[in-house]
């Protein structure tokens, strides 16, 4: 599975609902999902996909950090 793969309608609905939750609820949902999926069988993930996931994760982190700094009036 690629991080660029299209998301099904039902999966997108779950993601949209998740996005509307506050931070404590998001952490609660994530913890419960991790418990539910720990015994699922997963396909092997190739290095390129892992690199894409890491790059996207860091880009999101950087964007959120920049937004927080901008909201707090901080500059580089």
One-letter-per-residue 3-state SS of the chain: CCCCCCCCHHHHHHHHHHHCCCHHHHHHHHHHHHHHHCCCCCCCCCHHHHHHHHHHHHHHHHHHHHHHHHHCCCCC
- pTM > 0.75: yes or no: no
Assess contact for 2 and 52: CB atoms under 8 A: yes
Residue 76 has pLDDT above 60, yes or no: no
Assess contact for 56 and 3: CB atoms under 8 A: yes
pLDDT (tens digit per residue) in 8-49: 999 999 999 999 999 999 999 999 998 998 888 888 888 888
């Amino acid at each position: 599975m690629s991080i660029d793969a299209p998301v099904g309608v039902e999966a997108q609905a779950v993601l949209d609902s998740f996005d509307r939750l506050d931070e404590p609820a998001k952490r609660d949902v994530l913890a419960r999902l991790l418990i539910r999926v720990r015994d699922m069988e997963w396909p092997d993930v190739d290095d390129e996909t892992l690199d894409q996931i890491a790059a996207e994760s860091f880009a999101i982190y950087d964007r959120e950090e920049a937004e927080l700094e901008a909201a707090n009036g901080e500059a580089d």
